[in-house]
């Protein structure tokens, strides 16, 4: 098979209005809520176990798509979302879990729109952003790189999410958990070469 030559480079900036996506799952009395505004470039998630416990997961994303011109090449993606978050647990003779993430997600699709694979699935623990259970940053640097080709298009997302798991409260023991995040995504940079 003969490899075709690359045709230069291309830099693109994705900016609002973005595509918006959200998802959640709950068990027991736990709740997951999301808010995504593609026009403003903002999103938030909230996973809370409630007083009776069990598990909640929330996911949010903002993005767009890109199709390379070159037959074969490399695509670099970067973004600097502002983040504020809180991931906490409360326990008495019990255990609980709370966590959150931020990252880049890139899905590869055929030109007919069929999903083939996730070429980037990045999930960075938000407690590593500023340390501890809660914090904020005005711009957290995200970066990913992947081989690409002109026979596919690529959905590019900044995404985030939180998980909370706990048993709830009884008379002498129990637990609760919360994971919350608020993000602002001014732009996503794409460089293909």
Q: What is the pLDDT of residue 84?
A: 95
Give the model's pLDDT for residue 1: 36
pLDDT band for position 130 (50/70/90)?
very low
Give the model's pLDDT for residue 27. 97
| Mean pLDDT, the chain, integer | 92
Residue 42, by phi and psi: left (phi above 0), alpha (psi -120 to 50) or beta?
Answer: beta
Give tens-digit pLDDT for 29-87.
999 999 999 999 999 999 999 989 999 999 999 999 999 988 999 999 999 999 999 99
Question: Is 142 in contact with 62 (CB distance < 8 Å)?
Answer: no
User: Is the confidence at residue 5, as pLDDT, over 70?
Assistant: no
Cross-strand pairs, 189: 13, 78
CA–CA gap between residue 124 and residue 103 (Å, rounded): 6
pLDDT band for position 4 (cuts 50, 70, 90): very low
Q: Assess contact for 167 and 67: CB atoms under 8 A.
A: no
Residue whose tokens read 């919350």: 180
Count of other CB atoms within 10 angstroms of residue 108 = 20
Three-class HEC string of 123-153:
CEECHHHHCCCEEEECCCCEEEEEEEECCEE
Tell me the percentage of the chain whose pLDDT exceeds 90: 87
Tell me the CA distances in angstroms from 172 to 91, 92, 94, 166, one per residue in order: 11, 8, 10, 15
pLDDT at 163 over 90: yes
DSSP letters, 22-61, are EEEEE-TT-EEEEEEETTTTEEEEEEE-TTT-EEEEEEEE
């Amino acid at each position: 098979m003969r490899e075709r030559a690359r045709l230069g480079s291309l830099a693109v900036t994705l900016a609002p209005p973005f595509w918006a996506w959200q998802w959640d799952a709950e068990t027991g009395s736990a709740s997951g809520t999301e808010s995504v505004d593609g026009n403003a470039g903002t999103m938030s998630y909230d996973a809370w176990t409630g007083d009776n416990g069990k598990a909640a997961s929330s996911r949010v994303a903002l993005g767009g798509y890109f199709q390379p011109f070159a037959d074969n090449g490399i695509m670099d993606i970067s973004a600097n979302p502002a983040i504020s978050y809180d991931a906490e647990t409360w326990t008495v003779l019990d255990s609980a879990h709370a966590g959150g993430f931020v990252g880049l997600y890139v899905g590869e699709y055929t030109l007919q729109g069929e999903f083939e694979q996730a070429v980037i699935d990045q999930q960075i623990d938000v407690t590593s952003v500023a340390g501890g259970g809660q914090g904020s940053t005005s711009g957290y640097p995200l970066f990913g790189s992947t081989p690409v080709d002109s026979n596919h298009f690529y959905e590019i997302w900044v995404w985030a999410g939180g998980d909370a798991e706990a048993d709830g409260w009884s008379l002498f023991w129990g637990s609760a958990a919360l994971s919350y995040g608020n993000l602002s995504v001014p732009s996503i940079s794409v460089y293909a070469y």
